[in-house]
Structure 1
């Protein structure tokens, strides 16, 4: 793509996320180079790849925690920076201890005013915003229950509500389906998908498993062995494309609407052996 293809009209809103000539590596290990990527408002981008391919590093770049080696990254037209309220962040699912006294609504409330210093006066506007967020993620019925007594899926709904509190331009989800059962995976995926389409929030969804989110995904960024490809699920998730990325034969199988990526058991990808489980995307 030529530089002219990236020019934005003066009166057009900037992309929610924009990377230009992005390069990142650690020592002699290159994660990606020459990455040009725009993510539009309301677009759902899945980020896939094997362990060690750079998915976590991609998250840290967008959060402003890891600087690029070369190139630029912008969120809503502004340079990526730590603590940006333009990004809502949903971390990996980790169950809170059962004796955690914090109520569900209090956890969500941290997204409303947790960034403020000093004593916080939580009045009518604060309570109304928390109620709105709980309703938005379908958690109103357990808003006053201690979070430690809730299931993993219920806790993850609260984390999404917390991330949505500042009305972010970008919702960044880092492996949010880990440790969830299939029903909760589908529920959380649908919740995030609705946020993208109804509210025009750009979603960056890092995952090992594409099937629970497949119906919501617009495009995929697939990272592998220092290389990458970007495109629709139909264009990216093919035997030819993934074999080219990994430099070895990788089979992409489709069955009953599901996608399974299978590498040879003796294949070596990015310096380590890959079995069928690890290569499943």
Structure 2
């Protein structure tokens, strides 16, 4: 039996009287692409912080590659949200990537020996060699995001955590970045947990969906979770799920940023079909 790279059992995170999510049981297999969806404030980024060792669980237990989550784990790569650099930033692309070795708060501290070769390999892997020596502020959002992915891949991680990596990118660059991450997970059997508001660009890649809504959560294939009945039960209100020309559009969710112009979500493709509301949580 293949051991999961990520395992959570009866996991919960609470802040005072507020429970973000609780009773969460999750196994992520090597090479699996898991999309993490849900409204703003639902705990998606907090889940990544738990796996990065930055946020302790309030209850339950978690493991990443057989160990308790901890800072600087070589098993974990992290791609943060896209924030464009100012045009006058003098830092070069390769300098950003190297921070993953010797100073980035998510990364590893390694001796300088072999560092340049490791940085060059990571830059080549994401197809950024041609502009690696250019100032970051002169690069496009997509080019900057490729370099962030290179930084995340420096430690050759078994798990890649991506926090809204497509934010502020146009459709072409969204598809390019998504394909890059998918190619890596297929080639290296890397597990991917991909937090996003825009599921349609990754529809062909997704194996399962974890949907977090307040204290409730659901996990399964997109066809199991992203239905009118399931999401209406999760939100406790009427939600409509439409399938239009190969896209999934969710209409009626409380926070419009999850959707297109109509205020919906979008989503697609494998795993346990499960909806859960904890019976014992702090209110």
Normalised to the residue count of structure 2, the TM-score between the two structures is: 0.86
Q: After superposition, what is the alpha-carbon deviation per residue over 1:51-99, rounded to whole angstroms, capped at 9, x for unaligned?
A: 1111121111111111111101100000011222211111000001111
Unaligned stretches of 5+ residues in structure 1: 1-11
| Equivalent position of 2:182 in the other structure | 193
Q: Note the alpha carbon deviations across 1:132-189, whole angstroms, 9 max, x for none.
A: 1111101111111111100001000000000000011110000111111111111111
Gaps of 5+ in 2: 267-283
Aligned with 2:141 (options 140, 152, 161): 152
Alignment RMSD, CA only?
A: 2.0
SS in 1 for 2:85: coil
TM-score between both structures, scaled by the size of structure 1: 0.87
1:93 equivalent among 68, 82, 87 = 82
* C-alpha distance in structure 1 between counterparts of 2:3 and 2:66, whole Å: 5
> Contact 1:262/1:276 (CA < 8 Å) preserved in 2?
no
Give 1:275 shift: 11
Conserved? CA contact 2:101–2:109, under 8 Å: no
Query: For the structure 1 residues 61 and 165, does the alpha-carbon distance in structure 2 shift closer, same or farther, using more than 3 Å as the test?
Result: same
Aligned to 1:80: 69
Distance between the aligned counterparts of 1:146 and 1:96, measured in 2?
10
Residue 116 (structure 2) pairs with residue 127 (structure 1): yes
Equivalent of 1:58 in 47, 54, 59: 47
* Alignment match, 1:41: 30
Answer yes or no: is 1:176 the counterpart of 2:169. Answer: no
Secondary structure at 2:204 match in 1? helix
Match of 1:217 in 2: 206
- What residue in structure 2 maps to residue 116 of structure 1? 109
Change (3 A) 1:276 1:182: closer
Specify the alignment match of 2:58 in structure 1.
Answer: 69
Tell me the residue number matched to 1:231.
220
User: In the alignment, which residue of structure 1 is the partner of 2:14?
Assistant: 25
